[in-house]
Structure 1
Amino acid sequence: MTAVAHTSYGALRGDASGDILVFRGVPYAAAPTGERRWRPSQPPASWAGVREAIAFGPIAPQDISPERLAKRGLTMSEDCLTLNIWTPAADDNRRPVLVFLHGGGQTQGHGAAPLIDGSRLARRGDVVMVTMNFRLGALGSLHSPDWHGRGSTNLTLRDQKQALQWVREQIGAFGGDPAAITVVGQSSGAIAISAFLAEGCALFDRAILQSGGLERVRSTAAASAVAEQFIAAGAFGFSEEPGVEEILAAQRSIDPGFVPPQGPFHPCIDGDVVGEHPLVVARTHEMPAIPVLAGTTRDEWRIFDAALDDDVFTERYVRERAQALAGDGHDADAVVAAYRADHTTLRDVASAIVTDYHFTAPTEQFVRAHAERGNTVFRYELQWTSPRPGLGACHDSCLPLVFGTLHAAPALAGDDEAARRTSDAVQDLWLEFVRGGEPWDRYEGRDGSTMLIGPESGIARGHRAEQLALWEKRYPAYG
């Protein structure tokens, strides 16, 4: 198996030490440093000879200790716009391609995480798997056009689009089919995909949205308010451009807000990359007529509430949480009552309310609108339970199952024979979709089919319709 791939920018030598060929640290854009710091990503420069692609590139600046970086054999730098490619062979075959956008609230994460190692998917499905790094936090999402000019907004999304453009143009050199690209996003990665679909992005052919808090695209006013906080924190109170540590310190000073946190660096409506809220677009406009597979885990928010003591979850606290999410004009007591019927503790009620408000309901509304326009949609809910008491089927538990990396985070989904069987089944369903097949019954709109994935998987119709209807008019698409 040759370890060299020939792109239009130059040749790359990958790692051929196993049965899957891996190209790490492949530049998809020029370094966003110096005068390019607050500018849209640009194509990389070409190179002569054969460039080594053995080691992962630096990860984007984020809050992570030097000790953790060293333990994982990683470095951190603004010069971070690289991707990683796992492929059975760099040949002339045309394999389906999966491009993964990691989560982390657009402030954390990277494409070298062991949890999203692409080797098992590439091997099991004979596909090409791609992960990437992109700018995070203020460096990727500070809404400051008055300071940095047009083109400085939503840089994280611009980086992701640049990477998708690179994949469309270059993946044939790695045994991939540029006409069969599935973009996969988890958490904030799924939010990014919803924004791309809303803007009519034509850089992928199928989309998978996992655990996306799709309501969390910020208004222009909200994003501007975050920028004001950031500037007040002193990041631009210097005679020269602030350093990375100063930027990270300013980020930490921003109030995250009540539960769920406001996501100060999620995408915002800038009138350029994001013209309208994706939920509004899904409801009112045509989006690209591509197949979509989307869903959430049953107990997304439990992993975030796990840090809180039981005595936090009083009747008053749970009602205040419901009121904060439901908003004025909604009956918070009715919301709490609707969830108490299915949950035994106040902790579970509180977590379930956020799970539906932030993840399940907006995802269902987004794909419902897509399906009702005649597009192919497959909807799921992951019910596989974490072995750690209290977590249930929590946020991030989809990752080890989809990637087959159970060993990397056994607390999320387990690492026994039953978990491995479930992971194999999930991978097979996802791969069936990626190849253009129909992994289960289509979701055709309200009260449609949802695949419940767990110890006993099966199709349900109108799954949890009563609770999801509580949030029907809470989002921009319906407000």
Structure 2
Amino acid sequence: MTTVARTSFGALRGEALDDVVVFRGVPYAASPTGERRWRPAQPVSTWTDVRDATAFGSIPPQDISPERLAKRGLTMSEDCLTLNVWTPAADDTRRPVLVFLHGGGQAQGHGSAPLLDGARLARRGGIVVVTMNFRLGVLGSLYAPDWHGADSTNLTVRDQQYALQWVRDEIGAFGGDPSAVTVAGQSSGAIAISVMLAGGCGLFDRAILQSGGLERVRSTEAAVAVAARLRALMRDDEPGVDEILAAQRGIDPGFVPPQGPFHPCIDGDVIAEHPLVVARTRSMPAIPILAGTTRDEWRIFDAAFDDGVFTEQYVRDRAQALAGDRHDPDAVVDRYRADHGPLRDVASAMVTDYHFTAPTEQFVRAHAERGNAVLRYELQWPSPRAGFGACHDSCLALVFGNLDAAPALAGNDEAARHMSDVVQSLWVDFIRGGEPWVRYDGSGGSTMLLGRESGVTRDHRSEQLAIWEGRYPAYG
């Protein structure tokens, strides 16, 4: 099997894993260090010898213990702009490509996580799978154009778009088809895709949005406030990484759900308007979108709290924060209590709906009503962990097939493996240009329910739509 890929920057030697070749730690941009720290990504220098690409690159600076890094055999550095490619062969075949953007609130995560290993998916679908690292936290999201220049904003999204351009230009060397690129993202990765779609990005041909809290694109005012706090905490003009990470820990994430202090912000350059505004008011690139959420997104986060936390007042305050002034929080709580019972379940269900399901629904509904292909799903497969339900991140184990990497998320028995087979088959069909179930055509349209009994239904939870409407008045 050919393990050498010849890019326009130089040749790379990967590692053969049975019938898949993996290229790890491939640099897609120059190191964003020194004078390049607060600058958009720049081209990587060429090389002459065959470059080894069998080890993952350093992960972006983030709040992670040295012990955990050592256990996983990883290093952490600002020199982190690398990607990883799994391919059936680095040949002249033109295979569909999946580029995956990890989640983590734009403050955590990396493309070399075991859960995101692309070997099984590449092998199953005969596709090329790409994961990547990009700048995170302060280094990727600081809004300080007066300090670092107008092009220093939203560096995380700029990195992601630069990597997607690299894929367009270079993926042919890895047996991929640059004209058949699907970008997928989970959680904050899905938010990034919504931003790119709203901005008219033409660097991908299909999109998959998994569990995106699409409301979390920050206003300019919110970004200015975070930047002011960070500048107060970072006393040096050019702080070291340890000081930057310490400053990140000093930022209050806000009431449940967290306000996402390191998510993308409206900067008038990369992001001119909130994606929910754009989706409702004008056309985005007319590409197919597959999008959905899990049934119980927020349960995994509320599992950290004792039952005593979920008092009537606490749950009412959460309803007020989520539903806004347009809705009576007591009425919201009463409605959810009728469906979910205990206050803990009510509190989690409200965040799942208002923070994940509702904005995803509004974003893709407008796209569908303009005649574009939209496939909607809800993942109902339960975690084996008591109280988690069909929780956030469980989709990752099923899509990538790496159930052994996080068995608490989706399980690792025969039934879980069958569920993973179902999900992978559907996603691969979409990546390869198909429409694996009936299109979603607007409010109450067809939705694929993925669980112990999978199938398409209409009017799924349509009664809830009334309570969602008006939640985002600022977004149209």
- Amino acid paired to 2:109: G
CA positional deviation for 1:17? 4.2
Tell me, yes or no, if the aligned pair for 1:136 and 1:156 is still in contact at 8 Å: yes
**TM-aligned CA distance change 1:476 to 1:14, over 3 Å:** farther
Tell me, yes or no, if the aligned pair for 2:274 and 2:475 is still in contact at 8 Å: no
Tell me, yes or no, if the aligned pair for 1:39 and 1:151 is still in contact at 8 Å: yes
Which residue of 2 is the match for residue 243 of structure 1?
240
SS across alignment from 2:375:
strand
4+ residue stretches of structure 1 with deviation over 6 A?
A: none
CA RMSD of aligned residues (A): 0.9
Tell me, yes or no, if the aligned pair for 1:11 and 1:50 is still in contact at 8 Å: yes
Tell me, yes or no, if the aligned pair for 1:283 and 1:477 is still in contact at 8 Å: no
Which residue of 1 is the match for residue 452 of structure 2?
455
SS across alignment from 2:470:
coil
Distance 2:128 2:168 in 1: 12
Q: Does residue 1:304 correspond to 2:297, yes or no?
A: no
| Aligned with residue 383 of structure 1, among 351, 364, 380 | 380
CA positional deviation for 1:337? 1.6
| Aligned with residue 424 of structure 1, among 418, 421, 427 | 421
CA positional deviation for 1:465? 1.9
CA positional deviation for 1:332? 0.7
Tell me the alpha carbon deviations over residues 263-297 of structure 1, each in whole angstroms, 9 at most, x when there is no partner.
00000000100110000000001100000000000
Q: Which residues of 2 match residues 60-459 of structure 1 at below 5 A?
A: 60-233=60-233, 235=234, 237-238=235-236, 241-459=238-456
SS across alignment from 2:107:
coil
Tell me the alpha carbon deviations over residues 387-427 of structure 1, each in whole angstroms, 9 at most, x when there is no partner.
00000000000000000000000000000000000000000
What are the ranges of 5 or more consecutive residues in structure 1 without an aligned counterpart? none
Distance 2:329 2:51 in 1: 59
- Amino acid paired to 1:2: T
SS across alignment from 1:30:
coil
Distance 2:191 2:29 in 1: 22
Tell me, yes or no, if the aligned pair for 1:279 and 1:477 is still in contact at 8 Å: no
SS across alignment from 2:152:
coil
Distance 1:272 1:466 in 2: 38
Distance 1:284 1:17 in 2: 48
CA positional deviation for 1:19? 2.1
Normalising to structure 1: TM-score of the pair? 0.98
Normalising to structure 2: TM-score of the pair? 0.99
- Amino acid paired to 1:427: Q
Tell me, yes or no, if the aligned pair for 2:103 and 2:186 is still in contact at 8 Å: yes
**TM-aligned CA distance change 1:17 to 1:377, over 3 Å:** closer
CA positional deviation for 1:478? 4.8
Distance 2:141 2:396 in 1: 25
Tell me the alpha carbon deviations over residues 225-269 of structure 1, each in whole angstroms, 9 at most, x when there is no partner.
000111111x1x22x510000000001101111000110000000
Tell me, yes or no, if the aligned pair for 2:88 and 2:128 is still in contact at 8 Å: yes
- Amino acid paired to 1:164: L
Tell me the alpha carbon deviations over residues 25-55 of structure 1, each in whole angstroms, 9 at most, x when there is no partner.
0000000000000000012111111100010
SS across alignment from 1:129:
strand
Tell me the alpha carbon deviations over residues 114-142 of structure 1, each in whole angstroms, 9 at most, x when there is no partner.
00100000000000000000000000001
Tell me the alpha carbon deviations over residues 347-394 of structure 1, each in whole angstroms, 9 at most, x when there is no partner.
000000000111000000000000000000000000000000000000
SS across alignment from 1:342:
helix
Distance 2:368 2:398 in 1: 26
**TM-aligned CA distance change 1:443 to 1:477, over 3 Å:** farther
- Amino acid paired to 1:433: F
Tell me, yes or no, if the aligned pair for 2:186 and 2:210 is still in contact at 8 Å: yes
Identity %: 79
Distance 2:292 2:473 in 1: 20
SS across alignment from 1:470:
helix
Distance 2:158 2:475 in 1: 28
SS across alignment from 1:364:
helix
Tell me, yes or no, if the aligned pair for 2:182 and 2:204 is still in contact at 8 Å: yes
Distance 1:410 1:352 in 2: 23
**TM-aligned CA distance change 1:443 to 1:329, over 3 Å:** closer
Distance 1:212 1:425 in 2: 22
- Amino acid paired to 1:340: R
CA positional deviation for 1:473? 1.4
